Structure 1
Amino acid sequence: MKTHPPIDALITRETSKRPYRELFLARYHQQQWTAKKLFTIGIICRDSGLSPDKQWYYCASVNNGTFLGRVGQPKLKKMSEELLNCRFSPDGRYLLGTEHFSGGIIVFDLSRNARAIVIAKPSLDATSHESGWPFGWYPDGRAFWYCQGRDSEVYFRVRTRSWRSERLSAREARQIPLDWDLLDPRFWYAMPVPEARTRESTPDGYYALLPDYAYSWNHRFRLRIQRYVRELPHGEESHDSPAVDRFRYEVLLEDRGGRSQLLVRLDDNETGIILPVAVSNDGKWALWTAEPPLNEPARRAVGVSSLRAVLVNVDTRDQQLLLNESPDISGYVSYLWFGER
C-alpha cells in the first residue's frame, strides 16, 4: 500500500458562547480533510469517547454528570448524575463504566435504549479523589473483567449473556496486565500494574517506565513506546527547570507472533513526550504524537506545547507531520485513528 489508510479524528471547535463547543467527526485522506458536525457540547468534559462503529459518543463532567448521544441525533442525553469513566465494547453494543469518585461497575446496553445494568454498587466508604474501579473488555465483546477497587486483588469476569459475576483465579488475574488482547487502551480503564521486569535493552544509568501501546483494529500489530529515565542524584533536578538529557524513547512495532522492529530511537534533545496513537491493519503505517523538545525556543517560552501528530511509513521510515488544525473548520484535532476495520 503506497498511500496510508484514511485517518479519522474527533475535532472540537470553540464557539462564541463559552463553554459551548462543536464536535466534528473528520477524515484525513489524500492530503485533505472532510468533516461533519456531530454535537454541540455545553459542558467541560473530563472523559469522553466515540464507539468503534462511530454510532455513539459519550462525555463526562465533574459538575454535570455523564451524557450519551447517538450520531445523527442532535442532542446528548444525561445517563448519570455521576462522573463515569467509560469504555465502549469492541462491537459498540455496550458502554461500561465506573463512578470516578466511588467505584462500582455499571453497563449500558446501547441496543436497548441504553438500558442501565448495575453489576456492582459503588463503595460507600471511598475516600480517594479517584476511586474508580479497574475494568476492561475481552476482545470479542462478550465479556469484561473488573477489580473491586484499585488496591484489591479480587477480580471478576462478567459475561454479557447472563450478567453474572464469576471470580477469577489468581493465575487468571495475573494474566490481565500481560495478555496481548487485553492491553488495547481503547477497551480498559485503570489497568493494574504488572510485576516489574528489567528490560535487557535498558541503557546504563537509566530505568524503564511502563510502556504505552496502540493497537491495529485487527490486533495483529501494536505500536509500543518505551521510555527510559536517567537516574539523577537526589536534589539535582529542579521542577522549575526540567533537566534535558533525562529521557530516552524507543518506538517499536510489534506483532502478536512476538516479532519486534525498532522504528526510531530518540532522546529529549530531539523530542518531548511521545505517545502511541494507531497502527494500520497491515502494519505498514504508524501514528504517534510528540511534544516539541524542551530546548525549542517556543517550548521554553510557554512551558508546554500542543502535541504534534506524526505519520510514519514503516517500510521507508518516512515521516509526515499532520496538521494540528483542520483548515476547513479551524478546530483542534483531539483523537486520531486509522479509519479501517
Structure 2
Amino acid sequence: MSQNLEPIDPREALELWLDRLESTRADETLSSYRYRIKPFVQWCDEEGIDNLNDLSSRDIFRFDSTRRAEGLAVTTLNTQLGTLKQFIRFCERIDAVSEGLPAKVEVPSVELADRVNDELLSADRAETIRGKLSRYQYASRRHAMFELLWHTGCRLGGLRALDLGDCFFEQSDLERLRHQDDIERDALEAVELPFVYFRHRPTTPLKNKREGERPVALDREVVDRVQEYIDVNRVERVDANNRRPLFTTEKGDRPRVSKSSIRREIYIMTQPCRWAGCPHGRDTANCEALEHGLEARCPSSRSPHPIRTGAITHMRDEGWPPEVVAERVNATPEVIREHYDHPDPIRRMQSRREFLTEDSE
C-alpha cells in the first residue's frame, strides 16, 4: 500500500465527490449517485472501515458478494458497482485509496437483452398517439408536449424548462438570439430555422446543467402544432423571474407546469383506452387507472422516459449516426449504444441500404 495516502472517512469522501460533481450534474443525478453509494458506505460502517486508506480489493470483492447475496438483479448490480467504480476512481485521485484499486472493481456485464427496456414506446405506437391527438386534441398543451418529447427526444426537465423565448420559429426570432448569445448579425444569416433552445437556468435546471444546453432543430409540421398551441390554447403567465414558460398552468401560484403534471399527462396520453378499447380486458367504467392520480396503474401507460428511449431508437432506426443523435438528445454516443439503442432489425437494415454501393450489392 502506498505511504502517501491521506486518511479520510467513507462518508466524507462521498461528500467531496458529490461536491466536485455539483457544477456539472443536476440535483437529481447527484441524488441517484448518493443512493447508489449509500449501501457501500453503510457496509463500511458495519465492517468497521472508517478510513478508506485501509480499503482493499478483497473488501470490494466481499461487498460485491454481499450485494449479490441480497438477490439484486444483474442490471441493478451493474449500475451500483459502475457508480462505485467512479467513486473509487475519484478516491484514487485524492490519495484516499491505493493506486490501481479502481481497476479491481469488477462491474458485471449486462447482456443486451437484459438492458432492453420493454416499456419503450415504439414508433408505431407514437404515431398512433400523434394521430389521435391531432384528431381529438389538436393544438392542446398535451398535444404540443407530446410532439416535442417525441421529436426532440428531450428529457422531462428539458421540456419543462422551455420558455417562449426559447422557441425560434420565424426569421424575426433570430434577433432575440443575437442579443442572448452575442452573435454577430452576419452570422445569423447561416442559422437555419426552426428550432428550440434548451437552456440551463437555476430555477429550471437541465440534467447536465450548462453542458446540457443545446439548440435542437424541428420539423415544420411539429412547429406548426406547437405554434397553434401558443396562439390558441396557451395561457399567458409570467413567473417570479419574469420568464414566460412555454407550458403554463391555468391557475395557482406556479405559472410553469410541474414535472408531476407533465408525467401524469404522459400517462394519460399513452393509455390505449383513451382512443379505443382496453387491450387488457378491463372494464373502463370502473378501472382504477382512469382515476385521477392513478393513471400509471394502467399496464400500457408510459412515463416520459420510455418516450425518450423510443424516440432515440427511432432516430437510429432511421439511420442517424450515434454521434448525431447524442448531440441532439444530450448524451454520449456510448450511452446511446448501450442504453437506448434497441434496434428493429428490419428498419435498421433498410437504413443501412444507403451506404451500399452498386459494387457491394
TM-score category, normalised to shorter length: under 0.3
**TM-score normalised by the chain length of structure 1:** 0.21
* Bigger strand share: 1
* Bigger helix share: 2
**TM-score normalised by the chain length of structure 2:** 0.21
By relative contact order (CA 8 Å, sep 6+), the higher-ranking structure is: 2
Q: Which structure: larger Rg?
A: 2
